[in-house]
Amino acid sequence: MKLELVQMAGRDGDTAYNLQRTLDAIAACSSDTDIVVFPESLITGFPNPQNIARLAEPLAGPSLDAIQRAAREHDLAVVCGLTENDQGRYYNTSVLVTPDGIALSYRKTHLWVGEGEAVLPGDRFSTVEWRGVRIGLLICYDCEFPETARALAELGAELLLITDGNMEPYGHVHRTAVAARAQENQVFAVMVNRVGQGDHGLTFAGGSMVANPFGRVLFEAGTEECRHGLCLDMTGIAAARALYDYHTDRRLNLPGERINHADGRRELLVPEGR
């Protein structure tokens, strides 16, 4: 599985600028790339209660239509995020867009401080298979909770793709969290963060990274814009589980309703109140 990580800056509230840079980055991908991953909410930037109605788009809107056309043209999948408008309800959403359309969408379940003033939390975790690998999505603060990655592992995820908008002084937190989520579930975990300045004086931390099923960091970016390609050897999952398997050995089950869909998606619906 060949991935490209695109760590880049964005402009909050400037969808046209962010979308064009995203499309340019997709066009620059290698011909053998399977998936290109971008930071959290890069398409729209982060909204506030005053501009969210203007910025938010439905998943069947113009930005993701353009992303799908690019995915089809370059025969790859794109993981990117935006502020979703679902009939007047707003979510921080990341999607896996393939040449055939949106294969997977995920609404951030764990909202950062103050984020709930603009968007609602999601209520489920989902996975889908793409080119032989079962994939799950997480967003930023989600990765600090062991239960999120465990929910995806329950659904058979082999690769966790985390769109991130982590800011200073918390860059070190996600370095630890992403490696831990990979190690404790014996899967690959990929995090792509934003860099540069944001609204309200924020400085995004960068540090995009890849961790293998042993929790070892295979790649880590700095704090500037960059892109990095690498191939994941998915047989590393079996190697990590050869002597001990956390999924088999654990004694506590994660609650939730598991749903298997005819299109290959798997979902874990979170019980109300959790």
Q: Is 40 a catalytic residue?
A: yes
Q: What angle do CA 165, 214, 175 make, to 5 degrees?
A: 25
Which residue among the candidates 57, 140, 143, 158 is catalytic per the annotation? 140
231, 243 contact by CB (below 8 A): no
C-alpha closest to that of 35 among 181, 175, 205, 234: 234
DSSP 137-187: EEEGGGGGSHHHHHHHHHTT-SEEEEE---BTT-HHHHHHHHHHHHHHHTS
- State how far the Cα of 199 lies from the Cα of 47, in Å rounded to an integer: 10
- State how far the Cα of 188 lies from the Cα of 135, in Å rounded to an integer: 10
Q: What is the DSSP letter of 120?
A: B
Which residue among the candidates 108, 143, 158, 267 is catalytic per the annotation? 108
Q: Is 80 a catalytic residue?
A: no
In DSSP terms, which residues pair with 94 in a beta bridge?
A: 81, 106
Which residue among the candidates 4, 40, 84, 267 is catalytic per the annotation? 40
Q: Is 2 a catalytic residue?
A: no
In DSSP terms, which residues pair with 7 in a beta bridge?
A: 226
179, 215 contact by CB (below 8 A): yes
Token readout for 274 is 């959790």
Which are the catalytic amino acids?
40, 108, 140
